[in-house]
Structure 1
């Protein structure tokens, strides 16, 4: 996993990101896991007005990234904006639980191991009025999970889209919420007004113990909290489970055992005697309570990182490969 620390406004951090990768021999466009087709370029063009209106700082950062990489910004836009709206996408598991002295947020990132050397953990110290954050990503400026200086944690799981329109994709939704929101309630209000282009779930938790899972696509945004006080958790994989969203699921797609992973999490999280501390979160993500990360790597699938954000103690624990093999290390580089 690549580790980057960036500081400044969006243009400055984009240039830092691009030049640091270039100086280490990494050209982003050489590692995009799909061809940049005319369809992707056209989709990015119709998304530009959305980002100009709602997230112009991202476009500044993308210009800085292109300058640092010495590459065509149009190609970076096509790759970035079309992720999650035009497959392929990541297949991941996410949960949050708040009970007693614990507020824990966990996520496994399941993706292509052939690309894992380019997975990145980034710490961004902002100087232009938005929140600093740390996050993990398979693909440059978007974030797939992270926590910001206020203690808001957000993570995505992708869902194969049945409806697409110009709008934010999953990874840029996570990035936007980390930069602009300090609590779950603030993030939910933002999500209600943003144009969304892709299909995904977003799991959210904050230091007050507020939890939510959002199932959303180009047509609907549905929000759920814990089912009841006896089960103070939320979780998500790569399918919609809320009744109003189920019709958007694609049953023919390879979802990397999404329902099996969902059952593993819900069954473990319902057991009050288990969900008591950090070790439970790590054990759950490591597959100790059922299938969650036990892929056959020879098939080209694996868990490529796993992370737990301990929001009560302001601590981060990450495994930079499959957690059932490598375990977790505390990351003390980012304070929140």
Structure 2
């Protein structure tokens, strides 16, 4: 990659209240493809017996929790359902499929993966970067969106996600400079609480700093599972492990996570699903980032090179860029957020293909 010159691109603009923004997704979406990637997966899960009476009871309690604590998130989901002509109940179930898999003791569901990290300083910093590893069904519905509205008190949100799902379904940054990405972690323990797919959007809509985000996270119980990687304009960073018993925190400096918990009081809660290719190399990717990030120059071109790494890229390299076929879980995109430039450098598909675009936060 001798010359790095991504083309400037425009996000899908979504404005108005949360319901209107959800409904607006349908303006640029293939409804059949969205249905296959969301409701279609729910139908498969039902046919396989994953959604039994215990799961239905848990989902009902989760709906009551989110209606009380995140009405904007539920309004967005309602708008999405209306726009695409889908069942709101099924969309809510879709967002919980990873949790329901865990409750079935690791039932096979090829899905989330991801590698994410944040660096607090440097010529382009602070930076948050993520390789999004997810079902290939989302290849055609992945979008970069720009959200504004009365509940987005941070000014605007530039998000990477999927049509049919909440705004910050994978990562995002807001106009105040807070950047956020998640990774999936299957866990043994869940409870009724905030699901991170709703939580991420609410953080970007209402928090301008890592400190504010951590205060919001601490104010509510969480369903459990997954991590958040964050950085803000001051250079503050955090990695948060969202355990059902409470959030674990690594604060400051370079932070990174893959698909397992690493903090001593939470590591044993990780559930490694049998046969899950991406979850199975989580420790390998974590160790590679641990070795590579301290020596990385935190500029966007060098960050893109790191995220293109395959197992055969060099001695002791790990598959940060993961390839799959058809519906298999694979690296759908790379997102690199720069606070200094208010930009998202984005690869639609595997980053090694070199097809990069830049999206900018309006000034």
TM-score (norm 1): 0.88
Task: Give the gaps of 5 or more residues in structure 1.
Answer: 227-231
Cα separation, 2, equivalents of 1:198 and 1:34: 21
Secondary structure of residue in 2 paired with 1:117:
coil
Q: 1:30 aligns with which of 33, 36, 56?
A: 36
Q: 2:85 aligns with which of 48, 63, 70?
A: 70
Report the more deviating stretch, 26-35 or 100-109: 26-35
Specify whether residues 252 and 13 from structure 1 end up closer, same or farther in structure 2 by C-alpha distance, changes over 3 A only. Answer: closer
Secondary structure of residue in 1 paired with 2:165:
coil
Matched, 1:93 2:115: yes
Matched, 1:244 2:265: yes
Specify whether residues 251 and 143 from structure 1 end up closer, same or farther in structure 2 by C-alpha distance, changes over 3 A only. Answer: closer
Superposition map of 1:299-318 within 5 A: 300-318=328-346
Superposed displacement of residue 25, structure 1 = 4.0
Cα separation, 2, equivalents of 1:2 and 1:71: 27
Specify whether residues 250 and 72 from structure 1 end up closer, same or farther in structure 2 by C-alpha distance, changes over 3 A only. Answer: closer
Kept in 1, the 8 Å contact 2:179–2:232? The answer is: yes
Kept in 2, the 8 Å contact 1:106–1:308? The answer is: yes
Q: 1:5 aligns with which of 13, 32, 43?
A: 13
Specify whether residues 118 and 42 from structure 1 end up closer, same or farther in structure 2 by C-alpha distance, changes over 3 A only. Answer: farther
Kept in 1, the 8 Å contact 2:231–2:238? The answer is: yes
Report the more deviating stretch, 54-63 or 258-267: 54-63
Q: 1:120 aligns with which of 139, 143, 158?
A: 143
Counterpart of 2:349 in structure 1 is 321
Cα separation, 1, equivalents of 2:272 and 2:20: 43
Superposition map of 1:200-211 within 5 A: 200-211=226-237
Cα RMSD (Å) of the superposition?
2.4
Cα separation, 2, equivalents of 1:26 and 1:3: 22
Superposed displacement of residue 157, structure 1 = 0.5
Kept in 1, the 8 Å contact 2:240–2:247? The answer is: yes
Superposed displacement of residue 100, structure 1 = 4.3
Secondary structure of residue in 1 paired with 2:262:
coil
Cα separation, 1, equivalents of 2:88 and 2:322: 36
Kept in 2, the 8 Å contact 1:29–1:76? The answer is: no
Bigger relative contact order, structure 1 or 2 (CA pairs below 8 A, ≥6 apart): 2
Q: 1:291 aligns with which of 297, 318, 324?
A: 318
Secondary structure of residue in 1 paired with 2:73:
helix
Secondary structure of residue in 1 paired with 2:284:
helix
Cα separation, 1, equivalents of 2:235 and 2:336: 15
Task: Give the gaps of 5 or more residues in structure 2.
Answer: 1-8, 102-108
Superposition map of 1:94-243 within 5 A: 94-101=116-123, 102-128=125-151, 130-131=153-154, 132-138=156-162, 140-141=165-166, 143-226=169-252, 232-243=253-264
Secondary structure of residue in 1 paired with 2:301:
helix
